[in-house]
């Protein structure tokens, strides 16, 4: 589902979560699997809207910067995404918010993220924590 938009999805991904630049191919595959699974459970119209929005993000900067999103430097990419999050039109803000949510789900839903951010919740609760402390 995401093959055709993979470059722009990853470019947005590293703008939203800069640490994603350190991911290997398996890491990106995990993110894309999560995003694809989340979209697959949603109506087909929503899936089409997300794919369309990704294409809009890719081509929109051509007007302002003369380059596609994937060809921009990190600072300009961030400016584009911020302008979308702050857009006067709710429809645009919703689109960007949804895209950001999907990418955060993909990145922060990975098991490895526990160690990366120091999240240590455990079903064993206090006993488990005391054992490792």
Partner 1 sequence: MTPTPRSYDVVVVGSGAGGGTVAQALAPLAQAGRRVLVLEQGPRFGNDEFTGRELEMAGALYHDGGGFLSADGTMTLAFAHGYGGSTIVYTGTSLSAPARVIERWAVPGLDHADVLHRSQRYLGENNVHRLPAEELNDNNRLFEAGARKAGYAVEQFPVNVKGCRGSSLCNLGCPNQAKQGTNRVQLPAAERGGVEVVTRAEVLRIAPDRSLTVRVSERPAGAKGLPSEWPPGEYRVAAKIVVCAAGALGTPPLLLRSPLPAPRSLGEGFTCHPALILVAEHGTPITNDVGHPKSFFVDRAAEERFVLETCMYFPFTTAKALNGFGPEHSALMRAFPRQQQILVLAIDRAADGNRVGIDRDGNPVVHYAYSPETVTGLVQGNRAAARIFFAAGAVRVHAPFAEPPTIEARDAGRLDALIDARHWKPGKQAISSAHLMGGCRMGTSTADSVTDAWGRVHGIPWLFVADASLFPDALEINPYVTIMALADRVAEAVLGDAPQFLG
Interface with partner 1 (CB under 8 A): 15-19, 34, 38, 41-42, 78, 81-82, 85-86, 90, 93-94, 97-98, 100-101, 104-105, 107-109, 111, 113-114, 116-129
Task: Tell me how far apart the alpha carbons of residues 4 and 16 are, in angstroms, rounded to a whole number.
Answer: 20
The Cα 101–Cα 98 span in angstroms is 5
4 or 116: whose CB is closer to partner 1? Answer: 116
Residue 113 beta carbon to partner 1: minimum distance, rounded to whole angstroms: 5
Mark residue 110 as left, alpha or beta (left: phi above 0; alpha: psi -120 to 50; beta: remaining).
Answer: beta
Q: Which is nearer to partner 1, 36 or 78 (CB)?
A: 78
Distance, in Å, from the CA atom of 54 to the CA atom of 2, rounded to the nearest integer, reads 10
What is the closest distance, in whole angstroms, from the C-beta atom of residue 96 to partner 1 in the complex?
Answer: 8
Query: How far is the C-alpha of 43 from the C-alpha of 63, rounded, in Å?
Result: 31
Closer by beta carbon to partner 1, 66 or else 75? 75
């Amino acid at each position: 589902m995401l093959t055709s938009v993979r470059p722009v999805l990853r470019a947005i991904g590293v703008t939203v979560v800069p640490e994603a630049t350190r991911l290997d191919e398996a890491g990106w595959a995990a993110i894309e699997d999560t995003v694809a699974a989340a979209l697959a459970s949603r109506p087909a119209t929503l899936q089409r809207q997300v794919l369309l929005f990704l294409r809009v993000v890719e081509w929109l900067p051509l007007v302002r910067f003369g380059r596609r999103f994937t060809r921009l430097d990190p600072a300009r990419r961030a400016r584009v995404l911020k302008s979308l999050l702050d857009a006067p039109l709710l429809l645009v803000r919703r689109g960007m918010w949804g895209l950001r949510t999907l990418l955060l789900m993909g990145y922060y839903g990975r098991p490895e993220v526990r160690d990366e951010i120091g999240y240590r919740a455990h079903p064993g609760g206090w006993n488990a924590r005391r054992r490792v402390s």
